[in-house]
């Protein structure tokens, strides 16, 4: 699973600043895209480790009553 890097959002100035708004908006958009990508990967078990773990878990449950 990829490591996520936490970067805090910039603090708001007392007055409106167009540049800070665009940086904040882009940071939020990128974070939401990463979350969506991680959720899609988890739903499809697209990575090799997740897929193998799911198969192993299913195999172990086959003998359970």
The predicted pLDDT at position 46 comes to 63
**If residue 60 lies in a helix (H) or strand (E), which one and from where to where?**
helix 48-62
Q: What is the CB-side half-sphere exposure of residue 30 using CA atoms within 13 A?
A: 11
Of 36, 37, 41, 35, the residue nearest 54 (C-alpha):
41
Task: Tell me, yes or no, if the pTM score tops 0.75.
Answer: no
For 15-28, the pLDDT digits (tens) are 888 888 898 899 99
Distance (Å) of CA 63 to CA 51, 56, 57: 20, 12, 11
For 32-56, the pLDDT digits (tens) are 999 998 888 777 766 666 677 777 8
The predicted pLDDT at position 34 comes to 92
Average pLDDT value for residue range 6-12:
75
């Amino acid at each position: 699973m990829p490591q996520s890097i936490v970067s805090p959002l910039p603090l708001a100035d007392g007055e409106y600043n167009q540049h800070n708004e665009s940086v904040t908006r882009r940071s939020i958009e990128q974070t939401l895209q990463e979350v969506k990508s991680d959720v899609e990967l988890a739903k499809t078990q697209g990575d090799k480790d997740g897929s193998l773990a799911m198969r192993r878990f299913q195999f172990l449950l086959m003998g359970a009553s």
